[in-house]
Amino acid sequence: MNSSDRLIGVPESPEALTAAWLTDALRAGGEDLTVADLDVEAIGVGVGIMSLVFRLTPTYEGTKGPATLVVKIAPPWEQIRSIAAGYGFYRREVEIYRNLTSRLGLRPPKCYYGEFNPETQEFVVVIDDLGHLRSVDQLDGCSVADARLIITSLAAHHAKWWGDSSLFDLPYIQTAATPPWPEFNDQGFKQSWPVILERAGDLVPERIVTVGERWSDVGPAIMRKMANHQLTLIHGDVRLDNVFFHTDGGDPVTIIDWQIANIGIGTFDLAYFLSQSLAVEERREHLDDLINLYHATLVEHGVSDYSMDELWADFRMCALFCLTYPVLAGAGELANDRALHLVRTMLERSVRMIIDLDADELVGTL
């Protein structure tokens, strides 16, 4: 995407996604196209938690352009928007698509236009429609074969950025320890925890209730630890709903949704993916092999300073922190029954892995 200083207007609602707006957006992104008519279809309902996602089907005047596109905008729900603003999610995704896609170790979708309005905290990205590629419903859970594809791609990406100090020159990407991230996580968790217990308390055994009650001692401490060693560029939201599979001989996966990307230990991406995108029994049976695959791929790509003992210690700690995802997302407005089901599934899988690893025993030792 060609960067542009021109703010053409960031859509605040689906009604603002018009043929005229898309024409301006495509032209600002370097495409010489005119959109005569536009069909807008909501997609990913109950899949995207932090954004609204639409498929655009344009009719062009003269020159033929992309048959379909995908656009993301901010949702109307105040709690979700507050979380996004506090963490800088929307600006980060726009900046990554504008400035970093050619350097990513993962295969990104093409971005035609991206804009962020700091005054309103509205954002928009227009990207390739990947709907023709194979995808898997996160509720169904990831197969081991697909998990291996995702993990090898993740490890190669992490190895590419391993110890790269240039990450700290990017003002839109920080570590999880950067204020106000730890404080905001603590505040958000405190507000969300009672709501989660009301909505999904049947999935939370007493030992995890204790974790939630002591999150002020857990979350900020882990965020600081995730920012103090073996740093790389992590995606932050590697879950099955964000993954598309290719068969063209290039990188086998594209992982979308870069809002939560930050500087941290790559093992976090691994822990989040394995804890919330694999069915519990599948994860239990294959966990050791998949973690070994991640480590072997790091080594294959030149990482020589990260032992298996370190990896396992980080993995256990990150698995505990991953509880924050379904808690924060599940306490806000949810688009439909599928969104609630997704949050409950993520919560149940996360809780089970914490217990299987006895990761809750880390509370008080961090």
Band (pLDDT 50/70/90 cuts) for residue 47 is very low
Q: Where are the domains of the chain?
A: 14-128, 144-362
pLDDT at 335: 61
Q: What is the pLDDT averaged over residues 239-260?
A: 92
Q: DSSP class of residue 172?
A: T
Residue 86 has pLDDT above 90, yes or no: no
pTM score > 0.85 for this model? yes
> Which distant-in-sequence residues (6+ apart) come within 8 Å of 236 by Cβ?
258, 259, 260, 261, 262, 268, 269, 272
pLDDT at 4: 43
Band (pLDDT 50/70/90 cuts) for residue 7 is low
Give the CATH number of domain 14-128. Answer: 3.30.200
pLDDT at 191: 93
Residue 253 has pLDDT above 70, yes or no: yes
pLDDT at 3: 42
Tell me which fold the domain 144-362 belongs to: Aminoglycoside 3'-phosphotransferase; Chain: A, domain 2 (3.90.1200)
pLDDT at 51: 87
Q: Burial level of 57, CB count in 10 A (0-12/13-18/19+)?
A: middle
Report how far residue 169's alpha carbon sits from residue 57's, in angstroms, rounded to the nearest whole number.
Answer: 38
Q: Would you say the C-alpha torsion 165, 166, 168, 169 has a positive or negative sign?
A: positive
